């Protein structure tokens, strides 16, 4: 539901910027769906109309030649 890495979720959760998890077994955790949806709604409302972040320099990409299939 949230396309973030575990490390990013941990960092946001420790900073109080993501809903807290709860443990359903010794090895498995979960989050309350309504809390995560509310977090997503809050992020969506605060999102700018156009992307203002850093984009990778696509023009500097180096492509490897692909040999023909034998």
Tell me the sheet residues that pair with 46.
none
Does residue 12 fall inside a structural domain? Answer: no
Does residue 58 fall inside a structural domain? Answer: no
Does residue 27 fall inside a structural domain? Answer: yes
Side-chain-side CA neighbours of 24 within 13 Å: the count stands at 6
Does residue 3 fall inside a structural domain? Answer: no
Does residue 39 fall inside a structural domain? Answer: yes
Does residue 69 fall inside a structural domain? Answer: no
Q: pLDDT for 2-36, tens place per residue?
A: 999 999 999 999 999 999 999 999 999 999 999 99
Q: How many domains does the chain have?
A: 1
Does residue 38 fall inside a structural domain? Answer: yes
Q: In the prediction, which pLDDT does 70 show?
A: 57
- Spatial distance between the Cα atoms of 19 and 17, rounded to a whole number of angstroms: 7
**Domain range enclosing 37:** 20-45
Does residue 41 fall inside a structural domain? Answer: yes
State the pTM of this model: 0.69
Q: Which of 10-19, 43-52, 54-63 has the highest mean pLDDT?
A: 10-19
**What mean pLDDT comes out for the span 39-65?**
87
């Amino acid at each position: 539901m949230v396309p973030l890495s575990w490390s990013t979720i941990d960092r946001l959760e420790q900073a109080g910027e993501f809903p807290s998890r709860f443990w359903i077994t010794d090895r498995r955790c979960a989050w309350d769906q309504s809390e995560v949806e509310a977090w997503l709604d809050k992020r969506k409302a605060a999102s700018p109309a156009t992307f203002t972040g850093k984009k990778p320099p696509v023009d500097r990409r180096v492509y490897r030649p692909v040999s023909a299939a034998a």
